[in-house]
């Protein structure tokens, strides 16, 4: 790939990010705020993801060698920030999150460098419902559709593919429909059929005794029973990627735990000791607002909108030399 082609890609990435961030802020009533690249260890603020990933850590000389960790995401930090900034119900915050996840396995859609639009919105207790979750997802999907339309207008080689509506499915529904398939295979089949899916209820055990996928116990509420009789007030936005021809996750999000859900989920995961950590104790004392929030992958959205088949085409990261050689032979230009 020539330097001119790489520069054109960089300009297109900037265009996508500018349009989507503006549309998302408008749809969800979000204000842009600054955010940290690292937080102090031992506070419970960092995102534990699936609970096994190791954060990048380092000692701080000026704080008597106290240890800090590079964030995995800002799932819990944002909720604290809502309270600190006094953001009223119905409004929220949006930040550019930069993270390192060194335990991530390399793939065309995975890198050790993670860039997200991390957002969080203050809600009232009565909005902790599946209906409110769905309405919020529909607003995010409108931002995605508007962005795709703007990109197609700017770059005629891009043809819009997003369906008019996003389809809502529960992980239990997929299990019943595809009992012999793996979770990722179920996602593939459903997203291929519908084009855009919000898959709900990720984290709690399904009827066969296993969760669809892992979720940390202390941010998304994946255990509350809903009006449909299923559990979970969270989910993933999945799009059908026209180049990769597979289900493509662009966002993980959900209504956050209240203190009842936090206690329940910590017990289910066998980590009740976290109740003593700063974040958790504040939540249990009702010192933090109820909220809904999530992360939307910036590189993932750019991959989808610009029809790129490898995440290295839209972000700068560290890649094995074998990957660089294979992609160079295939004519794929890494940034």
Catalytic residues: 47, 101, 116, 236, 249, 252
- Per-position DSSP letters for 105-118, written without gaps between them: PPBTTB-SEEEEEE
The DSSP element (H or E) to which 85 belongs, if any, is helix 77-85
- Residue 110: closest CA among 249, 253, 298, 311: 311
| Length of the chain counted residue by residue | 335
Residue 78 to residue 117: CA distance in whole angstroms: 12
- Residue 315: closest CA among 329, 332, 303, 305: 303
- DSSP-derived pairing of the beta strands 113-122 and 92-100: antiparallel
User: What's the order of all strands across the beta sheet hosting 38-40?
Assistant: 38-40, 66-70, 57-60
- Residue 20: closest CA among 317, 298, 325, 324: 298
> CB of 18 within 8 A of CB of 154?
no
Residue 319 to residue 323: CA distance in whole angstroms: 6
Q: Which long-range contacts (CB under 8 A, 24 or more apart) does 307-314 make?
A: 307/158, 307/242, 307/243, 308/243, 309/108, 309/243, 309/244, 310/108, 310/334, 311/108, 311/109, 311/110, 311/111, 312/111, 313/9, 314/9, 314/13
> CB of 43 within 8 A of CB of 277?
yes
| Structure tokens given for 261 | 């859900």
| Structure tokens given for 67 | 């240890």
């Amino acid at each position: 790939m020539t330097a001119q082609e790489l520069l054109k890609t960089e300009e297109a990435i900037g265009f996508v990010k500018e349009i989507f961030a503006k549309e998302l802020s408008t749809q969800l009533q979000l204000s842009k705020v600054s955010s940290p690249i690292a937080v102090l260890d031992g506070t419970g603020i960092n995102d534990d993801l699936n609970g096994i990933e190791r954060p990048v850590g380092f000692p701080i000389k000026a704080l008597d060698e106290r240890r800090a960790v590079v964030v995995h995401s800002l799932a819990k930090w944002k909720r604290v920030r809502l309270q600190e900034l006094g953001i009223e119900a119905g409004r929220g915050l949006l930040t550019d999150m930069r993270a390192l996840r060194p335990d991530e396995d390399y793939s065309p859609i995975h890198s050790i460098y993670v860039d997200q639009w991390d957002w969080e919105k203050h809600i009232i207790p009565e909005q902790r419902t599946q209906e409110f979750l769905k309405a919020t997802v529909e607003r995010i999907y409108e931002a995605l559709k508007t962005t795709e339309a703007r990109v197609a207008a700017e770059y005629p080689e891009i043809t819009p593919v997003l369906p008019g509506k996003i389809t809502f499915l529960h992980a239990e529904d997929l299990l019943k429909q595809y009992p012999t398939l793996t979770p990722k295979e179920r996602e593939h089949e459903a997203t291929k059929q519908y084009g855009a899916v919000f898959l709900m209820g990720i984290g709690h055990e399904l009827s066969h005794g296993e969760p669809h996928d892992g979720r940390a116990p202390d941010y998304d509420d994946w255990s509350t029973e809903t009006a449909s009789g299923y559990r979970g007030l969270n989910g993933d936005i999945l799009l059908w990627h026209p180049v990769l021809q597979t289900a493509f996750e662009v966002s993980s999000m959900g209504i956050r735990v209240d203190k009842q859900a936090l206690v329940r989920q910590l017990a289910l995961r066998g980590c009740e000791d976290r109740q003593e950590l700063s974040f958790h104790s504040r939540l249990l004392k009702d010192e933090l607002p109820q909220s809904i929030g999530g992360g939307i992958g910036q590189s993932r959205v750019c991959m989808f909108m610009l029809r790129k088949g490898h995440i290295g085409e839209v972000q700068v990261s560290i890649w094995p030399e074998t990957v660089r050689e294979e992609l160079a032979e295939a004519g794929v230009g890494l940034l």
